[in-house]
A and B are shown apart, each in its own frame.
Chain A
Amino acid sequence: MSIDRRQTLAGLAGTLALPLLGRSAFAQGAGTFRIGALNPVTGSGSPYGTGMQKMILAAAEMVNAAGGAGGRMFEVFAEDTQTNPQAAVLAAKKLIEINKVQAILGTWASGVSLAVIPLTNDAGAILMHTSGAPALSVAPSNAKGLGYRFQATNDRFGRAFAEIAQKEGFKRPATMAFNNASGIGNTEGFRKAWEAKGGKVLEAVVYEPNQPSYRAELQKVLAAKPDVIVTGSYLADTTIILREWFQTGDATRWIIPGWAANPDLVKALGPDVTEGLFSVDSISNEEAPSFQMYDAAYRKAVGQPGLSNVYGAMTWDMVVTLALAMEAAGPGADVAAINAKMRDVANPGGTKVYSFAEGKAALKAGKINYEGASSILDFDAAGDVTPDFGVSVISKGKIERRYVTKI
Chain B
Amino acid sequence: MTDLLELAIAGLMSGLVIGLAALAVTLVFGIARFANAATGDTMTLGAYATLGGTAATGSLIAGGAIGILAGAAAGVIAYATVFRKLERRSPVAALLASIGVGFVIRAGLGLVYGHGQQVFQLPLVRPWRVWGIRIQPTDLEIAAAALATLAAVFLILHATPIGRQMRAVADDPDLARVSGIAPRRVMIALWALAGGVAAVAGCLLGIKTVVAPEMGWDMLLPAFAAAILGGIGHPVGAVVAGVLLGIAQETATPWVGFTYKIALSFAVLLLVLLVRPRGLFGRIEGVR
CB interface residues, A 30-53, toward B, < 8 Å: 41-43, 46-47
A248 touches B253 (CB 8 A): no
- How far is the CB of B2 from the nearest CB of chain A, in Å? 10
A247 touches B126 (CB 8 A): yes
A216 touches B115 (CB 8 A): no
The answer to whether the Cβ of B218 comes within 8 Å of any Cβ in the partner chain is yes
Identify the interface centre among A43, A213, A217, A269: most chain B CB within 10 Å of its CB.
A213
CB interface residues, A 199-218, toward B, < 8 Å: 205-208, 210-213, 215-217
Q: Which of B3, B118, B208, B218 contacts A213 (CB 8 A)?
A: B208
- How far is the CB of A83 from the nearest CB of chain B, in Å? 9
Chain A residues, Cβ within 8 Å of B7: 215-216, 219
The answer to whether the Cβ of A235 comes within 8 Å of any Cβ in the partner chain is yes
A273–B210 CA distance with the chains assembled, in angstroms: 15
Chain A residues, Cβ within 8 Å of B213: 42
On whether A205 and B258 interact (CB within 8 A), knowing A212-B205, A248-B127, the answer reads yes
Interface residues of A: mostly helix, strand, loop or mixed?
Answer: helix
On whether A216 and B210 interact (CB within 8 A), knowing A208-B261, A239-B119, A249-B127, the answer reads no
A246–B213 CA distance with the chains assembled, in angstroms: 26
A205–B259 CA distance with the chains assembled, in angstroms: 10
- How far is the CB of B17 from the nearest CB of chain A, in Å? 5
Which partner residue on chain B sits nearest A246 by CB separation? Answer: B124
Chain A residues, Cβ within 8 Å of B250: 213, 215-216
A206–B258 CA distance with the chains assembled, in angstroms: 7
Q: Which of A42, A220, A240, A270 contacts B121 (CB 8 A)?
A: A270
B6 touches A46 (CB 8 A): no
Chain B residues, Cβ within 8 Å of A220: 253-254, 258
Q: Which of A205, A212, A217, A236 contacts B219 (CB 8 A)?
A: A212
A236 touches B126 (CB 8 A): no
- How far is the CB of B58 from the nearest CB of chain A, in Å? 18
Q: C-beta contact mask, A247-286 vs B, less than 8 Å → 1, else 0?
A: 1110000000000000010001110110000000000000
A264 touches B13 (CB 8 A): no
A272 touches B115 (CB 8 A): no
The answer to whether the Cβ of B273 comes within 8 Å of any Cβ in the partner chain is no
B117 touches A239 (CB 8 A): yes
On whether A46 and B116 interact (CB within 8 A), knowing A212-B208, A247-B127, the answer reads yes
The answer to whether the Cβ of B14 comes within 8 Å of any Cβ in the partner chain is yes
Count class of interface residues, chain B: 35 or more
A210–B18 CA distance with the chains assembled, in angstroms: 13
B115 touches A43 (CB 8 A): yes
B124 touches A247 (CB 8 A): yes
B218 touches A273 (CB 8 A): no
Q: Which of A208, A219, A249, A268 contacts B210 (CB 8 A)?
A: A268
Chain A residues, Cβ within 8 Å of B118: 268
A270–B125 CA distance with the chains assembled, in angstroms: 13
The answer to whether the Cβ of A347 comes within 8 Å of any Cβ in the partner chain is no
On whether A213 and B125 interact (CB within 8 A), knowing A220-B253, A239-B117, the answer reads no
The answer to whether the Cβ of A192 comes within 8 Å of any Cβ in the partner chain is no
- How far is the CB of A179 from the nearest CB of chain B, in Å? 6
Which partner residue on chain B sits nearest A43 by CB separation? Answer: B115
Chain A residues, Cβ within 8 Å of B33: none
A240 touches B259 (CB 8 A): no
Chain B residues, Cβ within 8 Å of A206: 257-259
Which partner residue on chain A sits nearest B209 by CB separation? Answer: A240
The answer to whether the Cβ of A341 comes within 8 Å of any Cβ in the partner chain is no
- How far is the CB of A249 from the nearest CB of chain B, in Å? 5
The answer to whether the Cβ of B108 comes within 8 Å of any Cβ in the partner chain is no
A212 touches B209 (CB 8 A): yes
Chain B residues, Cβ within 8 Å of A20: none
B258 touches A273 (CB 8 A): no
CB interface residues, A 144-175, toward B, < 8 Å: none
B3 touches A212 (CB 8 A): no
The answer to whether the Cβ of A225 comes within 8 Å of any Cβ in the partner chain is no
The answer to whether the Cβ of B100 comes within 8 Å of any Cβ in the partner chain is no
B259 touches A179 (CB 8 A): yes
B258 touches A212 (CB 8 A): no
Chain A residues, Cβ within 8 Å of B13: 212-213
A47 touches B116 (CB 8 A): yes
- How far is the CB of B75 from the nearest CB of chain A, in Å? 22
B110 touches A236 (CB 8 A): no
B258 touches A236 (CB 8 A): no
Q: Could you jot down 16 A-B contacts, CB within 8 Å?
A: A46-B115, A208-B261, A208-B262, A210-B215, A210-B219, A212-B13, A212-B14, A212-B209, A212-B219, A216-B11, A219-B3, A236-B209, A239-B119, A249-B126, A268-B117, A268-B210
